[in-house]
Chains A and B, each alone.
Chain A
Amino acid sequence: MPPIDESLLRSLTPEVLAALVRRGADFAAAEDAVQDALVEAVRVWPADPPRDPKGWLVTVAWRKFLDAARADTARRRREDRVEEEPAPGAVPGADDTLQLYFLCAHPSLTPASAVALTLRAVGGLTTRQIARAYLVPEATMAQRVSRAKRTVSGVRLDRPGDVATVLRVLYLVFNEGYSGDVDLAAEAIRLTRQLAARVDHPEAAGLLALMLLHHARRPARTDPDGCLVPLAAQDRTRWDTSAIAEGIGILQRALARDRLGEFQAQAAIAALHADAPTAEETDWPQIVEWYDELVRLTDSPVVRLNRAVAVGEADGPRAGLAALAALDDTLPRHTAAAAYLHERAGDVETAARLFAEAAHRATNLAERDHLTRQAARLRAHRPAGQRGTDHPGG
């Protein structure tokens, strides 16, 4: 029997959920029922694929909802109410899916809760899959989801929400990285694509372009040993050219709308990297200009730090170090950026010391190992007796 297309199945999740809510089910109970229906679909469809997948899911989810309502005697009154509901009407359209995005990214939720609820209610992932993606026990993730559902239980589904909060949640999912069994980056792209098709918002397009352009580099980001390969050293023939072409096309159409936002600006920087046949041919002056736009849009210290590195490429390492000197040296990656610029300026001794210090401060393992190797590479040219003992991590 053919395996079922899980992403097709999951793309129907928000519409099925919205259909149940339309018929009078409360959000939390409807969401549980849809999860049950998805599990049943995975079991039943390979042998007996339905002609109308969405209709099948709505019917089964509604039955699951009624079963649960009947079984729950404590919810007697709600059961009476749903029994009185009219027969299923037309399956609602795209707007309901959009409302679910808003609900799951509601400002009353913490970022972690919004992420968990979005992945389940909009993405159709199971609690177990989300738990494994975030490396927490399934029971913990189940509680996180049900708390999130309780938090938004009083929110009406018929009011327009804030696209920016939804984009922030999807960005968090994408940026989580490529660990775990569930490909969160691919899932974030799928959900952002679905959103961008439903909402007329250049930043939704900008975020989708940004994700596609970074995702395109994925095959080149790590070497066969799993070590991080920095952008300049990546084998560009391994970049996904169709994802790059798609990302650039989406970005150009968004920029033409003349409503610039931070995701479009970030995507523009990623596009300039993607456009360069070699690292040496990167258009750094234009990248610095986009960082200036980003500073104007976000006033983020992290953006200023990245800008300083770009200035180092455009105008030379001394100019980069001068830009860096104006920034708070406790910023994440400040020391790593300083080490890189010092090496470019020819000060190997200082660079080696700073790489080692940066490794000590790194917040993720791959980066720490990468920075440690940089320090080791620079120190390998010194006589053994002069090698310091200040290397981090052993």
Chain B
Amino acid sequence: MAKYLLLKHYRGAPAAVNDVPMDRWTPEEIAAHMRYMNDFAARLEKTGEFVDGQALAPEGTWVRYDGEGRPPVTDGPFAETKDLIAGWMVIDVDDHARAVELAGELSAAPGAGGEPIHEWLELRPFLTEPPVITE
């Protein structure tokens, strides 16, 4: 088994085929999209492949250490940040081919006009524990 992260971007991903921002959809189209996402996660739970799914607020704060005895420095958000993560799903699947298949299904979530968005999702393998037997 292998764990993969399916990463959704607010921005920073290549343009989707059905590239209409969500705030231009009808309420029914948004509802249909949400239903598709929930059904997808529920189906993965049933197949024993679901690990986690979360959505992120678009705006956050940058934080860094500022030396002994000082409070951390905060900054941002920065409008120029190119890569903005919208959310993720973590899956635990037999192999890479299955991960690609599922990412393809998730990317088919309906958007404007009820048509698939064809959104680009980033698929990243988790680093694992080292195997016991290597030689």
**A366 near B51 (CB under 8 angstroms)?**
no
Q: Could you tell me if A364 and B92 are in contact, using CB atoms closer than 8 angstroms? A: no
B125 at the interface (CB under 8 A from A): yes
**Bound-complex Cα distance A134 to B91 (A):** 12
Mask: chain A, 166-190; 1 = CB below 8 Å from B; 0 = not = 0000000011111100000100000
Chain B neighbourhood of A210, CB < 8 A: 133
User: Which residues of the partner chain B approach A113 to less than 8 Å between Cβ atoms?
Assistant: 48
With A140-B45, A140-B48, A140-B50 already in contact, the answer to whether A269 and B127 are too (CB < 8 A) is no
Please give the residue numbers on chain A whose beta carbons come within 8 Å of chain B beta carbons, in ascending order: 110-113, 115-116, 134-137, 139-141, 143-145, 147, 174-179, 185, 210, 214-215, 228, 231, 266, 269-270, 273, 306, 309, 362-368
Q: In terms of DSSP, what is the predominant structure of the interface of chain B? A: loop
The answer to whether A368 touches B127 (Cβ under 8 A) is yes
Report if B71 contacts A (CB, 8 A). no
Residue in contact with A269 in the complex, picked from B1, B47, B51, B135, CB distance below 8 Å: B135
Interface residues of B (CB under 8 A from A): 1, 3, 45-52, 92, 94, 125, 127-133, 135
CB distance from B31 to the nearest CB of A (A): 25
Q: Do A139 and B45 touch across chains, with their CB atoms under 8 A apart?
A: yes
Pick from A134, A147, A228: contact of B130, CB below 8 A: A228
Q: How far is the CB of A326 from chain B (nearest CB, A)?
A: 19
Contact with A364, one of B48, B50, B128, B133 (Cβ below 8 angstroms): B128
Residues of A within 8 A of B50 (CB): 136-137, 140
Given contacts A134-B1, A136-B92, contact A112 B130 (CB under 8 A): no
What residues on B are CB-neighbors of A135 within 8 Å? Answer: 3, 51
**Do A143 and B47 have beta carbons less than 8 Å apart?**
yes
Q: Is the CB of B135 within 8 A of A273?
A: yes
